[in-house]
Amino acid sequence: MGVTPELRQRVAELVSTATGGEVSVADLMAGGSMVALGLDSLGLLRLVDAIELEYGVEVDLQAPGRGLDTLDELAALVAEARPEQSAAVR
């Protein structure tokens, strides 16, 4: 199914929530590095927990060859892991 605009928006919201609003949804939607925008290690751990709870997917931060520094990379990971749920955003 791929990454839908709704999935991309929801993942951006999860990132923003995980950073306590430090990283805005608008900045994330514009693209670029989540780390450069302000996602720190604590925010990343919160984000991983939120994604795992909401989508039931395991996020492996140590997976070789997989970048997770942009919103698009993260949304693609969720879409690949749970394609049947990527359109059914909560």
Q: Which two tokens stand for residue 62?
A: 């140590």
- pLDDT tens digits for 33-88? 999 999 999 999 999 999 999 998 888 777 776 678 899 999 998 888 875 543 44
Q: What is the 3-state secondary structure (H, E, C) of 54-85?
A: HHCCCCCCCCCCCCCCEHHHHHHHHHHHCCCC
What domains sit in the chain, N to C, each tagged with a CATH number? 5-81 (1.10.1200.10)
First to last CA, the chain: 17
In total, the chain counts a number of residues equal to 90
Tell me, what's the pLDDT at 6? 96
Q: What is the pLDDT of residue 16?
A: 97
